[in-house]
Structure 1
């Protein structure tokens, strides 16, 4: 089959790889009908995710048709149309039973490596390094889905692929970010990053009752898309974000702040962001946490900072004194997608939201390497890429 593979920093290739096979009685094989490039895939593209190996099949946003099931797989049959969560969960362990599927204790065969870096291991993820299981990803013609009786959700015929594809990751992630904020009537929510997850967070925050969203980015197309949802936008290259948010909230700060950027914050936004870039380039740091520092300072006393942007290692000079002295709450996670799927599918079916609004570019797997470059460089108005194998 054809698949997109990682072969080093900035080197994504469309190659022929072996077809997946049933390896466990709870597996399923799906024929991928649509997949997407996620913002967190760009961290792989840019060489920031450790434990990648040459030839790894990447991608974790996928949906398709079931073509084979293991003999112990329940709830799915050949011909079912499904969306596959990026988190792989057994459904039976301590965390899965509590709805924390992204912390599954059984699905990361590389958990010993993860424990050395993070103290404990999250769940295995599709197409996201040999810290997180080394599973093949979904930017391919076919995908093996472990624990298929727990992960994939069947979707109604009347909903188009474009409407439901993003249930695999970015819609649940953006929704979770908004939910983390504990939104109450009248709240102002500040969101850093108007990429795909940030766009989903904006619309989710309005769905959950926020009165005002302040969306922060510098890419014109992203800012316009945020404005079309009703957000007030700030360009961090043109304005002092802290001063503007304080001005807009009468000196109090935003009720909650969402970091939807993560490790690759813009390296030219401020002096500290430039220093972050230099440290990462010279291997003196693992991440560029400028956005997180700013979100902490812009959050009101006893407010919430929600973090859904990906960080991988150790963050330097985080103003924790500010956080503890002002009573901030931090909430963060890799999204336990399975927890959100039923309710978010209902919201789509009921017409409350159509996540396809974020798609700007389409192509085949053969177009994938060039579209990775376009997405990474933010050229041609690119916000979200969908590939059709």
Structure 2
């Protein structure tokens, strides 16, 4: 089959690879009808995610039609149309039973490797390094889904791929970002990053009762999309973000701040961002947490900082003195997608949101390598890429 495979920094290829096979009775094989390039995939493309190996099939936003089912899987049948969460979860362990599916204790076969870096292991993820299981991803014609009696959700008739594909990751992630802000109604929420996850966080914050959303970015197309959703938009290249947020909140700060950027943050004229770049380039640091620092400073006393941008290692110069002395709450996670799926699917069915609004590019799988570059470089108005294997 054809699949997008990683061959080093900046080197994604459309290769011919072996078809997946049933390896466990709970598995399923799906024929991928739609998949997407996620902002988190760009960290792989840029070479900042450790333990990738040449030829690894990537991608963790996928859906399709079930073509084979393991003998112990009673949930799915051949012909079912499903969306596949990017988190792989057993449904039976301590964390899965509590709804913390992204903390699954069983699904990462390389949990010892992850534990050495992070102290313990999260769930396995599709197409996202051997640190997180080495599972082949969904930017391919076919995909093996472990624990397929827990993860995939069946798609009701009448909904297009484009309406439901993003239930695999970015819609639940954006919703979780807002959910973690503990909104009661009437709040001001500041969101760094107007990429796909940020766009869903903006709309989710409004759905959950925020009165104002302040969206921070510098890419015109992203800012226009955020503005269309009702957000107040700040261009970090044109104005001081801290000063502007303080002015908008009468000096108090935002009630909640969402970091939807993560490890590859950049900021024009920012000294700390420049130092981060130098440290990463010289292997003296692992991440560039400029946005997280700024979010902490812009959050009001006893406010919440919600982190959904991906960080991989050890963050330098985080202003914990500010956070501790002002009583901030931090909420963060890889999204327990299965926890949010039924509720978010219902919102799509009711017409409360059509997730397809974020799509700017649709193309065959073979164009994936070039579209990785387009997405990474923010060219051609690219906000979200959907691929059709």
TM-score range, shorter chain: over 0.9
1:32-75 CA-to-partner distances (Å, cap 9, x unmatched) read 00000000000000000000000000000000000000000021
Distance 2:360 2:277 in 1: 29
Distance 1:121 1:269 in 2: 37
For residue 267 of structure 1, report the CA deviation from its aligned partner: 4.9
Distance 1:280 1:385 in 2: 28
- Does residue 322 of the first structure (1) align with residue 322 of the second (2)? yes
Aligned pairs for 1:336-351 within 5 A: 336-351=336-351
- Does residue 202 of the first structure (1) align with residue 202 of the second (2)? yes
* Higher mean displacement: 271-280 or 137-146: 271-280
SS in 2 for 1:40: helix
For residue 269 of structure 1, report the CA deviation from its aligned partner: 5.0
1:234-274 CA-to-partner distances (Å, cap 9, x unmatched) read 00000000000000000000000000000000153511111
- The answer on whether the counterparts of 1:267 and 1:276 sit within 8 Å (CA) in structure 2 is no
Distance 1:166 1:251 in 2: 37
- The answer on whether the counterparts of 1:188 and 1:255 sit within 8 Å (CA) in structure 2 is yes
Root mean square deviation of aligned Cα: 0.5
TM-score, with normalisation over the residues of structure 1? 1.00
1:337-381 CA-to-partner distances (Å, cap 9, x unmatched) read 000000000000001000100000111111000000000001111
Distance 1:88 1:186 in 2: 36
Distance 1:209 1:75 in 2: 36
TM-score, with normalisation over the residues of structure 2? 1.00
- The answer on whether the counterparts of 2:242 and 2:298 sit within 8 Å (CA) in structure 1 is yes
- Does residue 47 of the first structure (1) align with residue 20 of the second (2)? no
Aligned pairs for 1:222-241 within 5 A: 222-241=222-241
Residue in 2 that maps onto 1:184: 184
Residue in 2 that maps onto 1:28: 28
Residue in 1 that maps onto 2:173: 173
- The answer on whether the counterparts of 1:267 and 1:277 sit within 8 Å (CA) in structure 2 is no
Residue in 2 that maps onto 1:363: 363
SS in 2 for 1:366: helix
- The answer on whether the counterparts of 1:242 and 1:297 sit within 8 Å (CA) in structure 2 is yes
For residue 124 of structure 1, report the CA deviation from its aligned partner: 0.2
SS in 2 for 1:15: strand
Residue in 1 that maps onto 2:9: 9
SS in 1 for 2:234: strand
Q: Which runs of 4+ in 1 moved over 4 A?
A: none
Residue in 2 that maps onto 1:72: 72
Distance 1:170 1:269 in 2: 30
Residue in 2 that maps onto 1:213: 213
Residue in 2 that maps onto 1:103: 103
> What is the aligned residue count?
389
**CA pair 156-385 structure 1, distance change in 2 beyond 3 A:** same
- The answer on whether the counterparts of 1:58 and 1:137 sit within 8 Å (CA) in structure 2 is yes
- The answer on whether the counterparts of 1:236 and 1:269 sit within 8 Å (CA) in structure 2 is no
- The answer on whether the counterparts of 2:236 and 2:267 sit within 8 Å (CA) in structure 1 is no
Unaligned 5+ runs, structure 2: none
- The answer on whether the counterparts of 2:84 and 2:151 sit within 8 Å (CA) in structure 1 is yes
